[in-house]
C-alpha cells in the first residue's frame, strides 16, 4: 500500500513540482523555486540537499518494501544531476508508482 501523498504523484506532476519548489524555498529561506530554477544555483548545498531529500521521501514514499529507499537513491542522484523542482517531480512520479500487477 502507498501513502496518500504517493498516490497524488501519479496524476499531478505540475502540482508536485510546485510542492517541491515550495520545500526548496523553505529550506533556502526564500520564495518557492519555479519548476526550472536550480536548487544549487539558488544557494542549496549538500546539507540542504539532504534535508530536501528527506522531506520528499517523507512526503511521497511508498509504505511497503524497499520502495522508499529506491526513491531516496533516485533523488540523491537527481539532486546532484539536475536539482530543479520539475526534474525532481518527474523522479518522484517515476519512483512512486505502485508495482505493476
CATH, residue 35: 1.10.1200.10
Please report which confidence band the pLDDT of residue 67 belongs to, taking 50, 70 and 90 as the band edges: confident
pLDDT tens digits for 22-64? 999 999 999 999 999 999 999 999 999 999 999 999 998 777 7
Average of per-residue pLDDT values in the chain: 86
Domain-located, residue 101:
no
Domain-located, residue 63:
yes
Place of cell 505502485: 98
Tally the domains of the chain.
1
pLDDT at 1: 34
Question: Which value, to the nearest 10 degrees, does the dihedral of the CA atoms of residues 100, 1, 26, 51 take?
Answer: -90
Compute the distance between CA of residue 48 and CA of residue 42 in angstroms, rounded to an integer: 11
Domain-located, residue 59:
yes
Domain range for 22 is 4-96
Amino acid at each position: 500500500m502507498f501513502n496518500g501523498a504517493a498516490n497524488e504523484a501519479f496524476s499531478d506532476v505540475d502540482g508536485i513540482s510546485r510542492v517541491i519548489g515550495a520545500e526548496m524555498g523553505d529550506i533556502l529561506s526564500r520564495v518557492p523555486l519555479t519548476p526550472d530554477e536550480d536548487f544549487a544555483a539558488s544557494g542549496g548545498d549538500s546539507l540542504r540537499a539532504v534535508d530536501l531529500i528527506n522531506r520528499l521521501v517523507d512526503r511521497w514514499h511508498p509504505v511497503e518494501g524497499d520502495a522508499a529507499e529506491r526513491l531516496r537513491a533516485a533523488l540523491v542522484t537527481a539532486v546532484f544531476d539536475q536539482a530543479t523542482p520539475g526534474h525532481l517531480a518527474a523522479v518522484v512520479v517515476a519512483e512512486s508508482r505502485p508495482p505493476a500487477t
